[in-house]
Chain A
Amino acid sequence: MAIELPPLPWDKNALAPHISAETIDYHYGKHHAAYVTKLNGMIKDDPAYTGKSVKEIMLAAPAGGLFNNAAQVWNHTFYWNSMAPNAGGAPSGPIADKINAAFGSFDNFKSQFSTAAAGHFGSGWAWLVLKDGKLEVVSTHDASNPLKEGLGTPLLTCDVWEHAYYVDYRNARPAYVEAWWSLVNWEWANARLAEA
């Protein structure tokens, strides 16, 4: 059974003006879709991986093309869910308390996460994770993610590959990161926290 490209959790116009429908068309419709296609091509004749979930493949695959594609399928699905229309702003629910406990305040957390996202050199991802009961901000490179690296349970992510923001913000990654805060999906983060 082939891996499927999951549907977006919202309409492609839903994140405008922060992230345009044009970006979604490329980012989801071309990049994410291509990772799915390539992954399926790589596993179709390999009994070690056929029938496994994306997460299972990603965790089992050694460094290289198979890992890159599987992880990028997983990362992008997590990313779409980390954002929502009519979301953003300060957190509520259990995660708000944990943010205050770990970072002192939401503003401190926002500053740390933004620095990690804007400052990551090259392609990669910024994450909020739960590690040993505490929240942390980490960044990972290229296709890597906190599950693969044992950095904790992912709660939120921001994609900082240039394709995530180039259409809308060109080189101005900090402006894209700022816009991400208008989209951050605290419901998703709280749900991930609850099952962690």
Chain B
Amino acid sequence: MKTYCALFGAVSLAVASHAFMVGSPLTGVSKAPASSSTVRMAVALPPLPFEDTALEPLISKRTLDIHHGKHHAKYVTVTNEMIKGTDLENASLEEIVKAAKGKNQGLFNNAAQVWNHNFYWNCIKANGGGKPTGKVAALIDRDLGGFEAFRKQFAADSNGNFGSGWTWLAMDGDKLKIVKTSNADLPLTQGMTPLLVIDVWEHAYYLDVQNVRAQYVDNFLDKLVNWDFVNANLA
């Protein structure tokens, strides 16, 4: 008997045809009880892992309400519309993303954006940022030349990511790397393990800092990064 667990959400959906257990121990992932019924499984919009005022004034409630409640929610709605009646309709989000890549650009765009945003909300928290400890700190020292060098490169690759996209910290095999992607692309489909992401689509920061992406990037690195989540992704 298999169960589906919403990515990074505390919500668990009833029995479906696939099992997949991904998620941070921090947000909690619960398994639905086994059952012989099959309930059609849709991709779900996870709730934010923090209060919508928690990141003020760096990321405003106003931004979160629109970013989560409109952008992210719309990607979920469209993904569900697109998989309905297809052989992906009970697939996990990750399966949908991987199946759509290179085959169905519209589905990929929406499903990947659901995945990316699910991941992003867990990458930020109030009173975060600064220097990490634990496994990721050691990897940063070993592979990226230490924290200062990492911070400089990550900021440059976030500010210099032209157009809409995402800048990631990811494991490529056993090597820690900073990776830029455009539009909905994600390192997951390149065989890498994502650890941290910053959303650099303009909608992520425009209401708060307008054109000054660099301020948003500094705020992210200095005051928001959830290093606990990053280390959990390395576990």
Contact = CB atoms under 8 A, between A and B. Distances in A.
Nearest to B70: A171
A143 interface: yes
Contacts of A170: 66, 70, 207
B163 A123 contact: yes
Nearest to A64: B162
B53 interface: no
B201 interface: yes
B211 A163 contact: yes
B66 A122 contact: no
Contacts of A142: 162-163, 182
Which of B66, B71, B163 has the most C-beta atoms of chain A within 10 angstroms of its own C-beta? B163
A171 B66 contact: yes
A161 B211 CA distance: 12
Interface in A134-158: 141-143
A170 B210 CA distance: 12
A123 B164 contact: yes
28 contacts: A26-B210, A26-B211, A31-B211, A34-B211, A65-B162, A121-B183, A122-B163, A122-B182, A123-B202, A142-B162, A142-B163, A142-B182, A143-B162, A143-B163, A161-B202, A162-B164, A162-B201, A162-B203, A163-B202, A163-B210, A163-B211, A166-B206, A166-B207, A167-B210, A171-B66, A171-B70, A171-B71, A171-B203
> 9 nearest interchain CB pairs?
A162-B202, A142-B163, A122-B164, A123-B163, A122-B183, A30-B211, A166-B206, A171-B70, A123-B164
